[in-house]
Amino acid sequence: MLPLLLVVLLGVSLSHWLLVPLVHLATPVFDLGWLGWLLLALGLWLFAGA
């Protein structure tokens, strides 16, 4: 159980590290900063197997 938790935490931190700069880059162009967070939440939900 613990290794699975570590993998999930690592995946979350990596996806966060990758998505946040993309959201910051895209926000002035599209003004859709909320979309990145929505995609992040959806990705975490799918990754968790819900």
pLDDT in tens, 7-31: 777 777 777 777 777 777 766 656 5
pLDDT recorded at residue 26? 67
Residue 46 predicted with pLDDT over 80: yes
Q: Which residue has the tokens 């859709």?
A: 32
pLDDT recorded at residue 24? 72
Residue 32 predicted with pLDDT over 60: no
Which tops the pLDDT comparison, 46 or 27?
46
Whether the CB-CB separation of 5 and 41 falls below 8 Å is answered with no
Mean pLDDT for the stretch of residues 28-49? 76
Provide the CA 46 distance to its chain's centre, in angstroms. Answer: 11
**CA distances, 26 to each of 13, 18, 42, 48, 49 (Å):** 20, 13, 18, 26, 28
Residue 35's φ and ψ, nearest 5 degrees, are -65, -40
Q: HSE of 33 in the Cβ direction (CA atoms, 13 Å)?
A: 6
